[in-house]
Structure 1
Amino acid sequence: MRAKPGDHIVLAAGHVGEPVRDGEILVVKGADGAPPYEVRWSDGRVGLVFPGPDAELREAGGAEGGGAAERSAAEPIHEWQVRVAIFESGDETTARVALISDSIFGLNASGGSRRHEGDPAVPRIGDEIAVARALRHLADQMLAMAGHDVEDATGGSGVDLRPE
């Protein structure tokens, strides 16, 4: 990772449910843009960071800041990730999912499944069901948030965004 002052850094949460950290690089202390970096985090605190593999660097004035005409069609404007954690206890499985994003913070959801006593024990099936339910809850939250954003932007009310 090579950075310069003014670049932005985003650190993924260490665990599901924890917030993503983002900030502006103020000082590059390593040679040729190498870490460590002095960063002003979005909460106003300043600290020294040695970024790990969960860090993403966004160059100042790069694709993030340019207009649509400056970007190629294959270049993403934003990149979001969903982190999934699966917990099992006996016949019950719980999945927790968190959206890792540079613009939406704190979105997470959970889902569960329970094996019927007469069914064979196949943990993968419980995992699939629990994760699918958690992702559906996350999607519902995102649609509700987008609906509120549409209402705020248009001054309308009663916006109902449905999954297609």
Structure 2
Amino acid sequence: MTEKRTQAPMHVKTWTLKLDLFEDGDTTTAHGVLDTGDNVLESRSSAHRSPQDAAVPEIGDEYAAGRALMELGHQLLVAGMHDAAANTPATSG
């Protein structure tokens, strides 16, 4: 006899990321906001162009945005660790 498994219905969530880039002279600043529906995480990062480098705004955008996204990723991992710890039954010993 074959046992039938029932699958749980698919659960879909949409997270919204807003990433604003600000350029001021040789500095690009990124402000990231991630709304997960359960939490809102924010990060700020910047990139500074060295005087001897060519003025290519896209490079500053990429560095600043990449750093802001890495920070948001770190915050997500930390939040996940805290949530996992809070939802793990304590063991007595």
TM-score, normalised to structure 2's length?
Answer: 0.82
2:12 is aligned with 1:82: no
C-alpha displacement of 1:155? 4.5
* Structure with greater helix share of residues: 2
Deviations 1:76-132 (A, max 9, x none): 511102100001110000000001221113x11011100000000000000000000
Aligned residues: 84
% of aligned pairs identical? 36
What stretches of structure 2 of length at least 5 have no aligned partner?
A: 1-6
Aligned-pair Cα RMSD in Å: 1.5
- CA–CA distance in structure 2, aligned partners of residues 91 and 155 of structure 1: 51
Per the alignment, in what secondary structure is the counterpart of residue 154 of structure 1? coil
Q: Which has the higher contact order (CA 8 A, sep 6+)?
A: 2
2:29 is aligned with 1:94: yes
Aligned residue in 1 for 2:4: none
- CA–CA distance in structure 2, aligned partners of residues 108 and 155 of structure 1: 30
